[in-house]
Amino acid sequence: MAAALRSGRRFPLVLLPAVAGPGRPGRLGSLGAAMQQPAALPARPGGPEGGAQAGGAQAGGGGWLGALRFDNLALRSLPVDASEDGGPRAVPGACFSRVRPSPLQNPRLVAMSLPALALLGLEAPAADREAAEAEAALYFSGNRLLAGSEPAAHCYCGHQFGSFAGQLGDGAAMYLGEVLGPRGERWEIQLKGAGLTPFSRQADGRKVLRSSIREFLCSEAMFHLGIPTTRAGTCVTSDSKVVRDIFYDGNPKSERCTVVLRIASTFIRFGSFEIFKPTDEYTGRKGPSVNRNDIRIQMLDYVISTFYPEIQEAYSDNSIQRNAAFFKEITKRTARLVAEWQCVGFCHGVLNTDNMSIVGLTIDYGPFGFMDRYDPEHICNGSDNTGRYAYNKQPEICRWNLGKLAEALVPELPLEISELILEEEYDAEFEKHYLQKMRKKLGLIQLELEEDSKLVSELLETMHLTGGDFTNIFYLLSSFSASSFSDPSELEDFLEKLTSQCASVEELKVAFKPQMDPRQLSMMLMLAQSNPQLFALIGTKANINKELERIEQFSKLQQLTAADLLSRNKRHWKEWLEKYRVRLQKEIESVSDADAWNTDRVKVMNSNNPKYILRNYIAQNAIEAAENGDFSEVRNVLKLLENPFQEAEGFREVKEDAEEEGATATAAACTQETRSRLPYCSKPPLWASELCVT
């Protein structure tokens, strides 16, 4: 679930979890020797849905979607639950359960990603776009089944916020099958939000418009940023409604059921291997397939031969060596993935083991967020009370999750082998990839010096001190010249640009506003002194210290003027720019043609520092428009995010006066028309700081 707060009003943003707690359901698949086309789906009460025949959804796909070629290898390779009970239940001895999508009323397309659909060999007909969109809505809502598809739900477990949660599984997503792309590559496609599965627990298997738009847009945004990710082909909404108590405050509301078509080589995750876990000593929970090492072997054979064929070929006669090579590769892929996240300020928000891809993709977009003002302790998930998944914790959490995967592979990979691999490979791979990426972001393309790591750290510290916008500061640096210090007016102009991307006094007051009731804080402080053991059970020292720091900062801000803040920020940035100038000068001295070097430097920087990211306020504006029946903003933002490094053409950008107007207007006066005037690349308006995704 997610929520946005603006001047006392609340606006929903993200998704409601299937059960109490921050974890989210996953994905489905089903398996069996007899791969028959599932029977027609029963119609919902009230008659046919969205053009489906009165008898229910039919298998077909004779239009532009009829070109899809299915070959459902996962269902031939892994065990499928034989039970026909579609209700929530434990699923022992299987990786998949057969399921059937539940039809929706009047499905209609919100948006589709043509680059993502092209992976499947699909190209929307230009002649009759309206008919193509209607067909996409019909099949990618789950109202009709594509010929060759075999809907299924995948069984997995997971450690959620550090504790083993037992069976989770695809509570709202459905594997449709595997499509062979134009070049023979294999793509699993699934519908997220298509209805009940055996893993839905107390939920309804549905997703709503706000969460679906966020997942759809972010999946594509990450791909175009060059970050490994699952893809999103379509977003389809409907007139069917579900009730969500968004804030758990006793004020439920009806929201539109919405389905996202997700695409990836596979949606198998770390938690897929945790179904064999015996009873956990802390939670008392266990996986549904304890003592089924035969299935673990099947899963390893399938995953490695299908997604790591070079490893299977190299170690076909030694399973331990093969499994070790596989674990080493997923360790390195995961390290590189989280390094990429850190370099664009992306926070996943819920890095449970069931949300970690077995092939190193960003997977399951829920309470994610791109960081605006740089804060190493930034928490994008409002329900992450301890900051377990904060921005600066992501690298160590991903390593912890790999440790849980290592445990899940025993006895097929002895723990002493996997632990040594993790120790030797993870940190080294992360640090190497992170620094390589940061060098590109800073235009250090000629030399690799030991001092570069310190320069990056000092840049981030300067961003932190000044409240700099992570994305926009990096984007601006390509216009900095090593000769700027020789021209005071040029340097001053650049400092003005940098400081315009730093937090204002008003923004800092919002950021450091105390969050605890003073009486509660006083009570906690007294308890910490009088009964440390009880205090440890109900509160954390880190949270209390952070609140005390917040109070101190907020008090100081009451005395700080805008002029003083500007002067201080310029001083900090001038100090760092001098260090950056010295480092650039070393680059210049190592080349024979400084002009050619500078051209290459700017080119590299502009292809590694995005101008556009999916900021929360941009997503929120698109969501609000869509909830009012206008899907154009979702489609506009999608097109923008397909070219994140380039100046947008055809998108109305405005100057800083409009940006300032949007940043200072109150929520009551900030109409949709005013908000839409903000440039998509602008530092977020003040109301955006009240957005909270949970």
User: Which residue numbers are catalytic?
Assistant: 354
CB 352 within 8 A of CB 158: yes
The three-point CA angle 111-112-114 to 5° equals: 145
What residues contact 372, with CB distance under 8 A and at least 6 apart? 469, 470, 471, 615, 616, 683, 684, 688
Rounded Cα–Cα distance for residues 11 and 6 (Å):
8
Strands (E) in 251-315, as ranges, are 253-264
Alpha helices in 110-177 (DSSP H): 114-118, 129-139
Hey, which residues does 191 pair with through a beta bridge?
Answer: 174, 261
CB 213 within 8 A of CB 623: yes
Hey, which residues does 180 pair with through a beta bridge?
Answer: 186
Residue showing tokens 């791109």 = 370
**DSSP per-residue string spanning 25-57:** --------SS-PPPPPPPPPTTS--TT--TT--
Rounded Cα–Cα distance for residues 244 and 262 (Å):
23
Residue showing tokens 């434990």 = 90
Report helix angle 594-606 to 415-441, nearest 10: 120
CB 24 within 8 A of CB 201: no
- Dihedral angle computed from the Cα positions of residues 339, 341, 347 and 348, in that order, rounded to the nearest 10 degrees: -90
Rounded Cα–Cα distance for residues 667 and 378 (Å):
24
